[in-house]
Amino acid sequence: MAARSLEIGPTGIRAARTIEILRTERGLSQRQLASRVAALGHPMSNSVLSRIERTQRRCDSDDLVIIAEALHISASVLLGRSPSGCTARTCRDT
């Protein structure tokens, strides 16, 4: 079986950037967000979060959903597909 490409596509890049934007807008360090994610039952170190934000690691669907929950937003916001029109720059905590 051939190795799967690790290239991150445009949606993955957008999600990574949105995670970073929302995290910084909320005044959270990578360590703080990783702690929130871990508290929700999905162990994640700040170095893993850093690699996701720098697009050096793919953000799988489990990561995406739990990071969104930790940021108090819908996962669709991280994908840039929110039906409410909420974007990284306009989304507020719910």
Smallest CA-to-CA distance from 68 within 45, 36, 46 is with 36
* Least confident stretch, 4-8, 26-30, 42-46, 48-52: 4-8
Q: How much is the average pLDDT of 21-50? A: 97
- pTM for the model stands at 0.81
State the Cα–Cα distance between residues 7 and 25, nearest whole angstrom. Answer: 27
What sections of 7-60 are H helices per DSSP?
10-25, 30-39, 46-53
The helix (run of H) or strand (run of E) holding residue 68 is helix 61-70
Q: What's the whole-number average pLDDT of the chain?
A: 87
